[in-house]
Structures are given as structure tokens and as C-alpha cells.
Amino acid sequence: SGHHRDTDIVAIKNDEDNENKRRSQTAELRLADRSVSSLHSPFHLHCIAFAFHFIKTRGRAQTTSSVIQYIHSRTRRHTLDGHSVSQAKEDAPIRHRDDSQPHPSALSAAANPRRTMSSDAAQLSQLLAVLTQPDTEAIRQAELALKPLLKDPRCVPALVEILKAKDTQPPPVRHVAGILLRKRLAGHYTKFDIATKTSLKAEILTIIGQEPERSVRNGLVGVAASLAKLECVSGGTSWPELFQFIAAAAAADAQQIEARELAFSLLQEMTETIGLHLKAQFQPISGLFANALVPTEDPKVQKAAVKALGQLLSYLADEPEVEVFAGLIPPILQVASQQRKLHNEEELVGTVLDVLYDLAYSPSQAVAVHLIAMVHFGLECIQSKDLEMGVRDSAALVIATLAESKPRTFGKEEQLVAQVLETLFALIENSPDSAAGALFESNPAWRQDLEDGDEDDYDPELDSPSETSMAQGTLDMLACEIPKKYIFQPAVSRCVQRLTSPQPNHRKAGIAGLGVIAEGCSEPLREHLQEIMPHVLAAASDSDAQVRECACFCLGQISEHCQPEVLSYSDQILPIVFKLLDDNQVAVQATSCYVLEMFCERLEPEAVRPLLDALVRKLAQMLEGTTKRSVQEMAVAALAATAVAAEEEFTPYVGGVATLMTKCMTVTEEKLFSLRGRALECMGHMAIAVGRETFRPYFKATMECACDGLTKDSTDLHEFAYAVFANLAKVMKEEFAPALPELVPHLVQVIGTDEGQLEPAEDVERAGQFNNLDDSDNEDDDDGNYVLHVRTALLEVKKGAITAVGEMAAHTGAAFCPHIEVVMQVLQKAASNWHPLIKSEVADAMPNLVVPSVSAYHNGEIQWTKGDVTGPNPMSQHTNAIVSAVLTELNALVKDDDKTTVGKACEGIQSVIELCGPHALLPVAQECMENTHKLLVKSAPCQAADELYGELPEDDDDHDIVTQAACDLVGGFGRVLGAQFSQYLPQFLVAICEYAKSSRPARDRSMAIGWLSEVAQELEGAIFEHWQTVFLPALMAGLADPSEDVKRNAAFCAGVCCEHLKERIVDNYPQILQALEGLFHIDPSAGEAAAACVDNAAAALARMIMACPNNLPMPQVLPVMLKLLPLKTDMTENETVYTCLLGLIQMNHPDAAAHKAEFKRIFTEAVAEGSKVEDEVKAKLNEALPALQ
């Protein structure tokens, strides 16, 4: 089972059959066995009452054994069917008996200490004594001799006899006897009759009560726990005497510390049995724990009680019955805190933290009410410098996990959030460690460069967390998990406050914190970049090196997670970063390269053009002029990103950079493999930037280097190789095809490799404890424990292989067809992988398998008609079969419990049906519709986690990527089915319009209005019946929305509806024009979102004019539209706008003639060099310009 046992107990026996008996993680198995009778019998209560009466009336100086003897004297005649243990007769020695059934008297052979030990026991004791000696060969011979003896059930009474003989047998021998008794007990117990079993149970309790040696007593605890489990599993009496024993021991007087400690050791060892079979006894057991968790109790007893209760709480964490014990969480925390302060009880604190981690995921509200207390205990541990960092890090993990499992409950506690944030920022402030994030901590090159150490001394296994990494990891989890409405303002305000401090360590914490929250709070951060970026840019020029380093880290994080808004700061960021490349601190240089890598990947060529030459030369100089591997690696990565940004403008530098990369790609030293991989990656990125023709001379050498990397024992090189294969397949297309016969089988093999395996769990405390004497006939009832050992590096390699094979399928055309079947089979297997990383990559790659078939059988394009569901299927038989298999797998992945996988599966279905048309969708349409609807109403498996952990969704929850993907997929249904989709529309209208409510986040509202626009575009006039009830109210609300993104989509929606519904809605034109008017006054220079609003308002007017020019007040409308032109940012609307203007000229509209000068201005700007208007439209405008002279 998952719980801890004392070191004296028993080595784990791993038994596949017994795996089915172990503690189940599901409520179904825990609740399945209800055959055991309740212990709440009148006799049971009578015995417990007598035990307490005995203690009260006989005085407080009674020993534990006298209490036990008294209980036995009161209960024996009720439980042993009239047979007293002392009345039993001695049996013959084990080796001379022919039958396998020991007589009950054999179990009491040692009842009289004056008796001579039986020959069986004497023989066993001699062999056990050898096992305690430091003689390997003697131990081996003794084990060989013991094996046949232990197979005989008569070994049980002999081992009991040895345990009883405390006057003649030394503790080590009795200790070993207890271990072997537990090992062999389960295999023999079912062979005993009732009388023998009863005698055995009574004898074990007697021995425990009289055993003076702690090690032996701890071993006997395991024997008693095994007996209790065997009784419950076999449907026996559940051994009420054991609970009488425990109750009496727990109630022993103040001097009997060991007796009370023993009671809780027994309860701890019986966790699984109690949790599975004895739920009726939870209340009295809870009372025992409550009595021990008081300040006046002895620390040893408190510790034993906390361990036992904690283990039971962990076991019951996901069960309703945890509520019985949940009220004891505060006393547990108080005891652990007290013991930490008074006795430095680090082990106990660690145990309690493990329990809190398990409880974090409990759905019980009885547990959730103690969230504040649990977090406070975690904070107390984090702040305690007396605790080891490992324990403090466990406390941080508890807080992070509570934020993950109870994000809304946690976030609503404002004071608690404030306390946690202050603690985390204080740790970063007061730690001398680098605060540039955990991004580089696992990279040996960084450690060597920054610490001037020897990489050979770096051992990641011995590496412990630092205060900074602990704080940043927790802050990152809070930012990612807690709803932004609760975490963003408290976090960002503390960052900004520290950035204005005169103390450099405060500024370091402020800028580092801002970088850490950039991923989790990217959405609100993008909205507030205007206020935040001045602080970040100022920190990049700070006089303190650590602040500058953290500023680079922060810039890199913002560049990665706040796209595209951050790109508008390129003219400020690039010069600052360029300057920092010359910083005298290695860490600042390397993190500056990181900023370039993150920032440049999304830049347009014109943004990077002013600094391109200087940037390439500087990075090349850094690569050649430094021996610091961290700087070299990041310089190569920055060069790659610069190439991607510059696109074809990077062409003049390809030869020189390729020469530099070739030097790096041929290194053979293992410690330089990471640099070699980065260089290989850079070649792939350059290929993407400059295209096939320019890169062709370097294609062969790059492929050879990548393939050579596959021969090295380096998962890093393999991962980089697969990435370059993917990029080169994109660029070289059919020229990559000759490599397929060699590469695809290799990739298939890698994808099919098992990256993890179940292995027997080795309990380090019991490893080597007479494992050769385990029951060789699989009779032992010890639970089968297994551990899943995962090679995480292989997971990343497998992910890279899936990406590579997917890109090869997508870009090498018909040449990939011979490989489709084998790739399909391995991806189908990988789709059921346990790790989300693999499943999500399969969902990404699977749709690409359709592309080669379309290339081979349809010349690259299937000619299908929107909404044509009755005509002949345009797909070939081959393509149809591939499409069917792919959509079947993707539909299954939509029902996965991982959101990223589900989102990619939705995207995959959309891409396949839009490529292949309505006949691809028809066979799976019903299932697709149902799955997608469940996602939109948040009842899909991947959305059940919140409810599972006791958290119910709220209207203003953060935008969900799964919902966005599902919404886009519904739009895809409309594009493929057209008006045929109208039969499904009502249910989706209800679901998606929920996201348009004012209480929803802006991104949800924007998504919903955008979806309505898509539906209007694809269904055209079929939406009319929903115009007054859905579309008009939604777009009117959207045009008045405070969010510019929502306004933009609402303007687009208004225009599309007018375009397709034409005269049927002209009565609403005045209402729509009035709502649009507010967008005409937005300043387009305020930002990209503002400019997009204005552009879409202009396009809406254009559509209204083209739909019904006679129903508009043209003298008022046309001048307004002309002032908004040309378009500033949304170039997709150029065709709409200029088609409208050209149409007005062609029809000689009087209002167009009246504004000829404005038309000329707009057309002239549109055809000017550098304009983003399409060439086809430019040609039409040039034709019209002479008439405007």
C-alpha cells in the first residue's frame, strides 16, 4: 500500500495477483467490500467499558500487559468457544507431523516461560540466530535450510514460540522471527481452523503487551496488522479484541507512554484495513486520535498519533468518510508546529506536509474549510531557516498544490494571498542567488559559467532547491492557477512597488517577480503593458548586475508570453538588449541573448532591419570570442531567432552563419553536445527564414550532421535532430522525400518505445531484509507495490519524433503514402499513452496523415462543395479510409482529460473536415457535435477536475483554451455544412451565447461575438430566424462593450449580417449606425486593438453600403467612412473596403463624385510602395486613379 511502515516490519513482496487486493485509488473498490460485520456490538462496547473501568478502579500504575491480561480474562470465554490457551496440549515437532494443521496448543507452547522450547522452535531459532550474524555464506546456508521449513504451516506456532521466549531468545532473533512470521502468515492462515486462528490472535496480543524490546514490538505490530487484514478479507470476526487492546493501550495512564505509542503504531500499520473494512469504527477511532492530539500529551505519543492519523487522512483523501477525521487537521498542525519549535522534529513536519499534499486534492468541503490553516502551516515552514531546504520546498509545494486544486477558494482569501506573496517576495529579496528564474538552473553550462565551477562536479541528483527557486516556482504556480481577477493586481502591485525601491535586492525581487508571473498572467499583463514596460526598460539599465540580469529574464518572459502587444516596443527593446550584449557580467550577456531569442521570433523584417547587420555581427563575435558555453549556446539561439525575424533579408548572412554553425555541429565532446544541438537548430531556423533555394547548398551537410547525432548516446542530440528534420521537411518539401525510407522506420521505433515501466517498489527501509525467504509460492498477502519509473528525457525525444513524422507527412507529398499505415498504427498506440505531452503531440500530428493521400489521389486538393451532403463522395477510397481512421482517433482524444490534448484534437478535426469537406464529417457528425457541445457547456471529462476538487466554475473564470478550440470547431462545422448546419444551430447558439454575457471575461465575450460572425458568413440567410433574438442583441451589446477586441468583432459581425440579410433587416440600420458611431471616434494610434476597431467599423459601413445603398443616408455615412481610410492594421478587410469604393465610382454615385479628392487620397496611399494592400487590388486602384484626376 502507499503508506509507511516501521523499518522492523517486512520487506515488500511484489505479487501481481495481490496488486488487485492493494489499496485502490478509486472509491468503487474502497466501497466494494462491505461484508465485514460492524464492531459496534454490545459485547464490544461492554469490553471497552470494562477496560476503562479497570484502569480507573485499579489505579494508574498498571502496566500495559496487566490491562491486556484483564481484557483477555473478560473476553476469552466469549471469543474462544470455551477453549483457553492455557488448556492446550503440546503437539509433536513440525518435521514429524504428517498433517498440515497445527493444534491450537502449539501456539501456546511458550505460555509457561519455564517450559523447554519445542524442537521445532529450537531448530528455527538456531537458524534465525545465524541470520543475525555478519557472515554472508552462513546466512545463505541458513536461508536454504529455512525455506522448506517455512513452507510448512507448522512454522507459525514455532515462530510464535520464539517470539514468546523473551527470557531465552535474544532480541535480534525474536525480531527476525516477527519479520518471518509476517512474511509467511498470509500463505498459511487460511489452512488453520477457527480455534487455531483464535488462539493465534490471542497469543499475538499477549506477546505484544509483554514484549519489552521496541524493535521486536514494532515487528509484532506488523504481524497484528496482517492478522487483522486477513480476518477482514476472509470475512471473519474482524478481531474485536484487537480494538479493545488498542483502546485500552491508548487510554493508559501518563506513565505508560510506550503503551499509548503502541496503540497508534498499530492504527498506523492497519491504515488500509481500517480504510477498506472498518468504516463503522471511524467515530471511536477519531476519538482516540483527538485524545492524543492535545498539548499535554507526551511528544512521542503525539508523533505516533500524527503519523497514524496523517496516513489515514491520506488514504481517505478522496473518500466522503474523510469528513470524520477532517476536524482533526488543526490539532495535527498545532502538534507539528509545537514539535518543530520545541524538538526540531523535521521528520514529523515532513510527514504532515506529505499529508497536506494528499489532502489538497480532496473534494471534501470538510477539508477545504481548513485551507487557511494549511497554508499558514506551509508559510511557517517556508520561513523557518532551521528546516532543511527539502522540507521547506515541500511546504512550498503544498501551497502551490492548494492553489492548483482550490484556485477560487484560495484566491478569494485576499489576506491569505497577500501573506503568501509577501513571504515569496521576501525570500527572493533576501537570497543571494540569481533571480533570473529557474530557466537556466538545470543547465550544467550555466552553472559552470556562473559559479566558475567544474561541470564534472555537477550532480543534479544532489542538487537541492534554493530559496529563490522555491519562491519563484510557487509564485509561478499561483499566477498560472489562481484566477487572474484575484492574483494579478496583488502580484503586479508588489512588483512595481519594489521596482521603485532604492534597495537593489528589492528591485531584483520586483523585476524577477514580474518575469515569473508573465506566463500565468499574460492576458492582464498585455492589457497593462503601457504602464509596466517603462519599469522593465528602466531595470534593464540598472546599476546593479543582478537587477539587469533579472530585467533580461523579465523581458524574455514578456516577449514570449505577451505577443503581439510587446512587439510595438521593438524600437525601445532592441537597442537596450543590444547594449546589454556587451555587459561585463556573463549572466547578463546570456540572458540578453535569451531576450533576443524570445523577442525576435515574432518580429516582422522591418522591425529588425535597422539593427540586423550589427546584431548578426555582434552575436557572431560573441560566439567566437567567448569560452563561456552558456553565452555561446544563447548566442546561437539568438542568431536563429534573428534569422526567423529577418526572413529573406537574412540571406546575405547565411553563408557566414552556416560556417560558424558547421564548426559547432561537428564537435565530439559530450559536454558540448548541447551547443552542437543548438547549432543544428539554428540551421533549421535559417532554412525556414530564407527558403528552399537559398538553403539548398547546406541541406545535405545539415542532414548528415543530424543523422550522425542519432548515433550518439545523447537524448539532447536526438531531440535537436528531430526538430531539424521537421523544419527541413517544411522547407525542402519533396526534396526531403529520399530521406523518408531511412528516417520513418527509425522514428516509428522511437515513438513505439516504452518511456516508462512498472517496476517493483523497493522500500529502502526494508531492502535486503531476508527477501530470499519471501513466500516463493505467491502465498504472501503483502500488498503488491509497483513504481512507474519514467525516463523523462525519452518523453521529450518521443514528442520530437512525433512532431518530425507529422511534418514529414504534411510536406513531402505523395512520397509519404507508403509509410502512412505503419505511422498510423504507432500513433494510434501513442494516443493512449499515459502522458499528456505525448497525447497532445499525437493530436497535432494525426491530421497530417491525410495530406499525403490528398496529394497522391487528388493532386493536392479535394474539390468539395459547402453543404453538399447528398452528392457523390469526392474523396478516393484511400483518402476516405485515412480520414475515417484519423477522425476516429481525434474524436476519442476530444474525450481525454487533458485540456491541451483536447484543444489540439478539436483543431485537428477542424483541419481535416475543412480539407476534405462535408463527406468527411458526415460519418462522425453526431459524435463530433455531441463532444463539442459538452466542451462548450463545460461537462466534458477534461473540465471535470474543478468539480472533482470541490471547485465550481464561475461566470468570470479565466478564458479557457479548450472552449476557444471548441468554438472554432463549431465554426468549422458551419464552413463545411453551410445551411445544412442550421438544424444544429439552436443548441450551439444557447451554449456559445452564454460566453457573451457581460459577466464573462473580455476574451470570452470576444470569442462568442466572433463565432456569431463566422456563423453569419457561412450560413448566410439561414440565420434570419435568429436575427432579432440572438444576433442583433449580441452585436448591439458588443458595440457598446468596454473591450476594444469585443467592439472589433461586433463591428465585423454587424457588417456580415447586413451583407447577407440585406433588405430584410434595413429597419435596424439606424440602430446599427448609431451603435457604430462610437467606434468612429476611437484614436487608432492608441494601439493595435484600437486601430482594428476603427478598421472593422469602416468595413462594416462598406458592407452596409454594398448591401443596401439606397437605405443609408449616404451624404452623412460616406464622408465618415472615407476619413477612416486607408486601413491601419486589419489588412484582411482591404478587399471589402476597396470593392465598395470602386463600385461607387463605377455606378457614378453622386456622393462619390462629391468626394473625388478623398477617393484619390485613399487610392494613392493604397498603391504606394510599402503598402500592404494586395497586388490584385492595387492593380484595380491604379486603373481607377486616372478617372479621379
Give the model confidence (pLDDT) of 778-800 as tens digits: 444 444 455 555 667 788 999 99
Give CA–CA dist 900/910, Å, rounded: 16
The CB-based long-range contact list for 856-862 (8 Å cut-off, 24+ gap) reads 856/813, 856/814, 856/817, 860/813, 862/915, 862/916, 862/917
For the ranges 24-33, 173-182, 395-404, 1149-1158, the lowest mean pLDDT is seen at 24-33
Set of cell numbers at residue 1120: 465618415
pLDDT tops 60 at residue 960 = yes
**How far lies 537's CA from each of 177, 528, 576, in Å?**
72, 15, 8
Going through 1143-1189 in order, the beta strands assigned E by DSSP cover none
Set of cell numbers at residue 454: 567544474
Average pLDDT value for residue range 74-95? 32
Reported as half-sphere exposure (CB side, CA atoms, 13 A), residue 433 has a value of 21
Residue 93's pLDDT band (cuts 50, 70, 90) = very low
For the ranges 65-74, 466-475, 1082-1091, the lowest mean pLDDT is seen at 65-74
Output the pLDDT for position 361. 87
Is the distance from CB of 314 to CB of 358 less than 8 angstroms? Answer: yes
SS3 call for 543: coil
Output the pLDDT for position 455. 43
CB atoms within 10 A of CB 212: 10
> Measured on CA atoms in the order 467, 472, 477, 479, is the torsion positive or negative?
positive
Give CA–CA dist 653/659, Å, rounded: 10
Output the pLDDT for position 506. 95
Residue 771's pLDDT band (cuts 50, 70, 90) = low
Between 125 and 953, name the one with better pLDDT.
125
Average pLDDT value for residue range 337-353? 88
pLDDT tops 80 at residue 291 = yes
pLDDT tops 60 at residue 450 = no
- Look-up: residue for cell 515532513? 350
Q: What is the DSSP string of 352-366?
A: HHHHHHHHHT---HH
Say whether the peptide bond before residue 564 is cis (omega within 30 degrees of 0): yes
Q: What angle do CA 207, 128, 264 make, to 5 degrees?
A: 35
Output the pLDDT for position 52. 36
For the ranges 550-554, 783-787, 834-838, 1118-1122, the lowest mean pLDDT is seen at 783-787
Q: What is the DSSP string of 10-63?
A: ------HHHHTTSPPSSHHHHHH---SPPS--HHHHHHHHHHHHHHHHH-TT--
Give CA–CA dist 799/718, Å, rounded: 11
> Which secondary structure element, helix H or strand E, spans residue 789, and what is its range?
strand 786-790
pLDDT tops 60 at residue 1137 = yes
Tens of pLDDT along 656-694? 999 999 999 988 888 889 999 999 999 999 999 999 999
Between 989 and 24, name the one with better pLDDT.
989
Output the pLDDT for position 780. 42
Alpha carbon dihedral 1122, 1125, 1131, 1135, in 10-degree steps, equals 30
Q: For residue 889, which of 827, 811, 941 has the smallest C-alpha distance?
A: 827
Is the distance from CB of 604 to CB of 645 less than 8 angstroms? Answer: yes
Environment class of 629 (CB within 10 Å of its CB; exposed 0-12, middle 13-18, buried 19+):
buried
Between 48 and 243, name the one with better pLDDT.
243
Average pLDDT value for residue range 721-740? 96
Give CA–CA dist 896/831, Å, rounded: 10
DSSP 819: G
For the ranges 337-341, 734-738, 899-903, the lowest mean pLDDT is seen at 337-341
First to last CA, the chain: 89
CB atoms within 10 A of CB 917: 25
Give CA–CA dist 719/727, Å, rounded: 13
Give CA–CA dist 121/736, Å, rounded: 77
Is the distance from CB of 966 to CB of 907 less than 8 angstroms? Answer: no
Going through 206-354 in order, the beta strands assigned E by DSSP cover none
